[in-house]
Amino acid sequence: MERQTTLATAKQAEESAEWWQVDATNMVVGRLAAELARRLMGKHKPIYTPYVDCGDFIVVTNCGGAVLTGNKMRDKVFRYHTGYLGGLKEVPMKRMLAEHPDRIIRNAVRRMLPKTKMGRKMLKKLKIYASAEHPHTAQQPKELIIPAGRN
């Protein structure tokens, strides 16, 4: 008689997403982004299935207080193209941190997620705010503690 093994796989209808809140003050951007991407994909759950979006919602506050290691503040440049001839734009990290600190974390997490429709859907579950205030108190997000690591 054959033995049948049952694998735990997630189904979209069964899965319920939780809400988490992270305070990004004094956290290294890369380490923070890696953990956020892992949680958005759902890899922290025992029922993780690669082709099902079983991740959680994450609210990041105080993103302007995130820390960069090494010489990234001086050397790193964000590049994008407008679509016109000669339209390559470069924004230094220092200016990006001053004007749009949320984009630094969003770009880091986006580049760690799958480059598919599901990856774009996962990124929509990431809510980033520059201050400590956020409009998601009705969802009662739990505090997520991420170890700061080496500084």
Run of H or E including 129: none
Q: How many CB atoms lie within 10 A of CB 141?
A: 20
Q: Spell out the per-residue pLDDT of the chain, length 151, in tens.
A: 566 655 667 776 566 789 999 999 999 999 999 999 999 999 999 888 899 999 999 999 999 999 999 999 999 999 999 999 999 999 999 999 999 999 999 999 999 999 999 999 999 999 999 999 999 999 999 999 987 665 5
- Catalogue all structural domains in the chain, each as residue range(s) with its CATH number: 19-67+97-143 (3.90.1180.10)
Run of H or E including 99: helix 93-99
Contact 96, 78 (CB under 8 A): yes
